[in-house]
Amino acid sequence: MDARAVLELAPDSGVASAATRLAGSSGWQGTGRDDTALWGLCKGSGKNPYQVCVDLGDRAAKCSCPSRKFPCKHAIALQLRDVREPLPAGEPPDWVAQWLTRRRERAAPAAPDDSPEAGARRARAREKTALARREAVRAGVAALSDWLADVAGAGIAGLPARDAAWWRAIGARMVDAQARGLASAVEEVRDLVAAGGPAWAHDTADRLGGLHLLVRLAEAPGFADVVRPRLGFPVPEEEVRARPGWSDHWVPLLALETDDGLVRTARQWVWGRTRGWVVAVRHAGGGARPGLPLAHGVQVQGVLHPYPGAPPHRVAVGEVLEQPAGPVPAPASWRTALAALEDVLRADPWQRLHPLGCAAVRPTADTRALVDAEGRGVPVRDDLGLERALALTGGAPFDAWGLWNGRELRLGAVARPGGAPEVVG
């Protein structure tokens, strides 16, 4: 750890500045280190010096000074002294050894109570927690229903004039109700309104209609597997992995990364030669990139475990083995490909992105659309994926796969007729 990393441990800039000055002070004595800790005595305003120690395992610190800031300037300064010149090696004093021992004892896991009584208590606690969660979400759904009724009564034309506090209030209400899925949906509506553009009213009405349908079906029988994740009820991945999986030859063809400001999400649409399309998802927080669940564009043979829901099922990745990819069949026309989405939309009308493919397409002269063998075309997004596809195919007909949002296709993979697909986006 360098000096910058040590200063980043400080709770504020004032502590960091004071620690920098204190690190060079002559008021230190009895400093030392071993493989587990740093320690030292620092002269303060009182008669006795402050006892300072730092656990090198997790950089936790203890100091006898009266500061309410943690870590205090003395703990930061001691670490700065060690960074600048390693403290002398030695045996920790008793007060340091005792503190480390107490920390280890607290961190040690307690022996599990496997008695029937303990199991029953844990089951009752889980049921109580689940019931409280259901009641909280139910109240959130009711609040959102009232909010949607108010919006419908006032009309969406007035939404751009609503201030940030109005939007935050309903979003916070959904978070308080533990319905994070509904909070995200409201944020999406707010973003559409804020972005404006010629289609904002149409898109906003579409999202509000979807929310109204979600509220109506929140407790309807037969929709739980699709609706509950939309409300914000997660299904633990370990629970999914414990269920039987689908064994197939899988080809990851399409991918998209999004960022809601708190969490980055990578989605990867994978085509199974028997199962058809599934989607694998990975999340990361703290500004980290999540990475894709599978090597993109590389066929694998193995097992993917489906989550509850409607096709294309979300999956958890099990045991897989990479192998060369072969040709992937694509529908003969856009009409056939789009018609196949009817059942998907009936099962999950809130799905916004759909994997879509077509064989032997060619770009129009202005490259704004991809036309099939019947002369029908779909708009294509003009981005790097399209540029790469044209570079690979030289303008000759090619098989295409992309993500369809109802208006345009985001091209993700292409193949020469009869060839293996190549990822372009």
What pLDDT, on the 0 to 100 scale, is given for residue 162? 95
Report yes or no: 416 and 396 within 8 Å, Cβ to Cβ. yes
pLDDT tens digits, residue range 368-410? 999 999 999 999 999 999 999 999 998 899 999 999 999 999 9
CA distance 158 to 318: 49
Phi–psi pair at 361, nearest 5 degrees = -100, 165
What pLDDT, on the 0 to 100 scale, is given for residue 62? 95
Mean pLDDT value across residues 285-305: 89
CA distance 293 to 276: 18
What pLDDT, on the 0 to 100 scale, is given for residue 286? 64
The tokens for 370 are 């991809």
The CA radius of gyration of the chain, in Å to the nearest whole number, is: 29
Please state the domain extents for the chain: 3-107, 121-231, 245-322, 334-423
Q: Full-prediction pTM beyond 0.75? A: no
Query: What CATH architecture is 245-322?
Result: Beta Barrel (2.40)
pLDDT tens digits, residue range 75-122? 999 999 999 899 999 999 999 999 999 998 888 776 777 888 888 888
CB atoms within 10 A of CB 301: 14
What pLDDT, on the 0 to 100 scale, is given for residue 313? 95
Confidence class for position 45, pLDDT limits 50, 70, 90: confident
* Range scoring the smallest mean pLDDT among 198-207, 229-238, 352-361: 229-238
Element housing 3 (H / E): helix 3-7
Confidence class for position 15, pLDDT limits 50, 70, 90: very high
Q: Is 354 helix (H, G, I), strand (E, B) or coil?
A: strand
pLDDT tops 70 at residue 366: yes
CA distance 334 to 252: 21
DSSP state letter for 333:
S
**Largest interatomic CA distance in the chain:** 92
pLDDT tops 80 at residue 415: yes
What pLDDT, on the 0 to 100 scale, is given for residue 219? 87
